[in-house]
Structure 1
């Protein structure tokens, strides 16, 4: 038995202040017995895609950025597998909504990039982000961990792509507004968890930025679709136990990935 922590919080305009929040919440998660923590989307800045055609260059960071080193150190010092989320700039200057994943010893295992990019009111993300090219799964001290970022979760193939790679847990950093159908989103995560026999953790931001309120109500669901924990609208360290042996038993019982027709799997063609 181990424990997931979703770190729901509001973001300040200052990266250093947000890193202080990250440290405080990771310390709380470690004290609560967590093995894995998941942060909300773009955790080190305000949610700048709320503005169409803006300039968020001040928040873009590369692999060698001091903030990346700080997140690595926090993961190592707390002993927590850490799913962060930042405005990431690749070596060629292309920018992404991306989740650096750190193992419990602070090693950067990889940087997963959001694949589907939204473009509508309050979510002008195509003005800021390029699309990633696939869904990643990592072997971590907390289990085999898949990453599906925000808008990607609305495409069920994203969770299935991780499950077909052997994911046991799928982390979803997100940004949901206070006025969105948060109960529906909770059911969405529960359904994705059930259909793929995985633990699922959706981490939302909260608080008010300008005239926009973010909804909180982060969710942790079990592989049988059970709602294991749900946050309210305020900052919260949301904790839930997970059991990878139980997950395997659920997966063996339902066989969703085992019985899936091969031509529905990525890389196969219909006969």
Structure 2
């Protein structure tokens, strides 16, 4: 039976150092209304949605840094109250990335999932794979990425979750079913943030929980030669194309390898007129095909109706984990971090 769900990626264009969070929320509401008017039931926003990508700048600890973070429980934030109210009124779920400052003064790059059916946040996540460096580069015009300085690695497991109220007729606990209940319940979702999408391990952990839809927000610079380590000279246009290629590559490959749909939303464009960020917000199917994609690096929404039943082909054939996985051979994946090459030959 079809399990149709309409999803949207809400891409946000440039947000400058001088942009206020209140101004940004107004833009987010406009994107929300556009997506809802096109029938979206679930909207994905970017990583660090409320601010410019501040980890490219050096800030001292204390108030200078903390102003970029949302303090305490985000569900009680007056800043986001208009968005929560719009979601409750229109019965639209959403994923949202933000900088989190906990009550015990810990800093995380975080996201949450709000369920309109339940009227509350039902899943939270904190970015695990923090890229970049702790100290800024010595080169004056280098593009920095100081996430290791500003955030702790995430401490929340890769827990898949079900989102209620999205699929009409979804099988519930205790209801009678003919045959297997697999692939018949409320949709199974996962969340990652930006650089996490490049690592296959979290996708697989979610895949082993039957994930059908991955949600990802990202901020990805289009020019950062010090971070890439590339020896090949490139023009800015060539760099942009290369970064975009890798972004789509990991989204398409991991969606295919785990037989799931994915929705990813970018913070895009040239912040402060010079800090280039790629767009490429898109919706991808379980065969790795892009079914909808943004055309600009500005505020833009893409919407698509997807059928979660399409996940079954891969989950029951090529990537039937129960029949084909051989965990006895995968030990190094969890036992080792750095590379250990075989010994040199005589």
Please give the TM-score of this superposition, normalised by the length of structure 1.
0.91
Which is worse superposed, 25-34 or 259-268?
A: 259-268
Instruction: Verify the 8 A CA contact 2:268 2:277 in the aligned structure 1.
Output: yes
Whether 1:249 aligns to 2:293 is no
CA, structure 1 residues 257+149, in 2 after alignment: closer, same or farther (shift >3 Å)? farther
Q: Computing the radius of gyration over CA atoms, which structure comes out larger, 1 or 2? A: 2
Task: Give 1:236 deviation, angstroms.
Answer: 1.2
Q: Does 1:139 align with 2:156?
A: no
In the TM superposition, residue 51 of structure 1 has moved relative to its aligned partner by: 1.1
Q: CA deviation at 1:168?
A: 0.7
Task: Name stretches of at least 5 consecutive residues in structure 1 with no aligned partner.
Answer: none
Q: How many residues align?
A: 269
CA distance, structure 1, for counterparts of residue 320 and residue 58 of structure 2: 40
The alpha-carbon distance between structure 1 residues 268 and 214, as it changes in their structure 2 partners (threshold 3 A), is closer
SS state of the match for residue 229, structure 1?
A: strand
1:234 deviation in Å? 2.8
Aligned partners of 1:29 and 1:97: how far apart in 2?
A: 25
1:262: how far off?
Answer: 3.5
Q: Distance in 2 between matches of 1:220 and 1:53?
A: 35
1:8 lines up with 2:3 in the alignment = no
Say what the alpha-carbon RMSD is for the aligned residues.
2.2
CA deviation after TM superposition for structure 1 residue 200, in Å: 1.1
* Contact 1:178-1:216 within 8 A present in 2 as well: no
Q: Aligned partners of 1:212 and 1:231: how far apart in 2?
A: 19
Change (3 A) 1:235 1:93: same
Deviates more, 1:114-123 or 1:188-197: 114-123
C-alpha distance in 2 between matches for 1:266 and 1:35: 40
Structure 1 residue 222, shift from structure 2 partner: 0.5
TM-score relative to the length of structure 2: 0.72
Which residue in the other structure is 1:125 paired with? Answer: 147
Aligned to 1:56: 65
Greater shift, 223-232 or 176-185, is seen at 176-185
Match of 1:29 among 26, 29, 35: 35
Aligned-partner Cα distance in 1 for 2:333–2:198: 21
Q: By how many angstroms is 1:242 displaced?
A: 1.1
8 Å CA contact retained: 1:48, 1:56: no
Gaps of 5+ in 2: 134-142, 167-186, 224-239, 336-346
Match of 1:261 among 323, 326, 333: 326
